[in-house]
Amino acid sequence: MVKRERHRYILFKLIREEKIDIKPKAFLKEIWKTIWYYFGMKEANKIGLWLIELNLKENYGIVRCSHLSKEFIITALTLIKEISGERMTLSPIKTSGTIKAIKKIQEEIFKKKIN
């Protein structure tokens, strides 16, 4: 019997100087580039990375990864200093095992700022 891979969802904040448009494809490319550079191909093969949401209006995003590679993704997010030539920092906020829980946390954090 093969065990199903467990996922982790990571909520992160985008800290940037200007309101620039970032394409999700460029965002993922930068994360993968950082993973390959710092951790190598061996670790990159185990990650199972998916971009769930990238909200540039409220400056947050959610990525999904394997539970075994959560720490690699968090580290890779913090190491990114620019995307598409634009300076920015990614700051991981919270990790959860379900999308429902991470969405609830995201609403609590980012809706409070608006109201």
Cβ-contact 15, 89 below 8 angstroms: yes
Q: How far is CA 58 from CA 34, 36, 106, 115, in A?
A: 24, 29, 10, 13
Angle at 58 between CA 57 and CA 62, to 5 degrees: 110
What are the sequence ranges of the domains in the chain?
Answer: 7-114
Top CATH class, 7-114: alpha beta
Structure tokens at 97: 């095992």
Q: What is the pLDDT of residues 56-105, one digit of tens each?
A: 888 899 999 999 889 999 999 999 998 888 888 999 999 999 999 999 99
* Average pLDDT across the chain, whole number: 87
Name the residue among 52, 26, 47 with its Cα closest to residue 35: 47
